[in-house]
Structure 1
């Protein structure tokens, strides 16, 4: 949303200035997208580490308490940073759902079930 003052500023600028600014915006978005992909790749590597450790601890891929913890954490960060809570929830739900499925695939038949976690006293989740 733009303010009336910002709209006046935009209206008074030449098309060339506006096109230059739009090019700059697009360049910066592309750079940010690269950073986001690199961060998500780092996160994926941690999911891969968890998939190696969890079976030995009797922890299943899906630990609802941990999911709640992750969501609460990222929502707090989103609020602090001024990021849309709706966007954050949608993105992280997708990331978490994919991560759980990926962990389950990586663990294969070594994947503990939720029942085996409670019977073995499973520890903290990733």
Structure 2
């Protein structure tokens, strides 16, 4: 999990990691990926994983809560996805001194997205060994 432990260069609030991300810039192209938890249901998150026993699961949950935090857990007001998107856009424009252009997918690309969505949502993919 990218929220397991913060590195020196990552965003930390009150000692807990608020963002997990990575980026690279090559040949004039920026690749950024990561996550900022808007909200989190700890029980639901840890129910997604298989543990040897309940004691280990509880230990992992407790460690996670000490190391990671969602933005709405520390904000005085509820932050929406739209607000987060706007903040990212402004931050990238200002921080990198760039203009962003909207990407419009072609019909072929949209069909490929749908195909990949179906593939990765399937039980066959999710429960493969």
What TM-score results when the alignment is normalised by the length of structure 2? 0.27
Larger strand proportion of the pair: 2
Structure scoring higher RCO (CA < 8 A, sep ≥ 6) equals: 1
Larger helix proportion of the pair: 1
Larger-gyration structure (1/2): 1
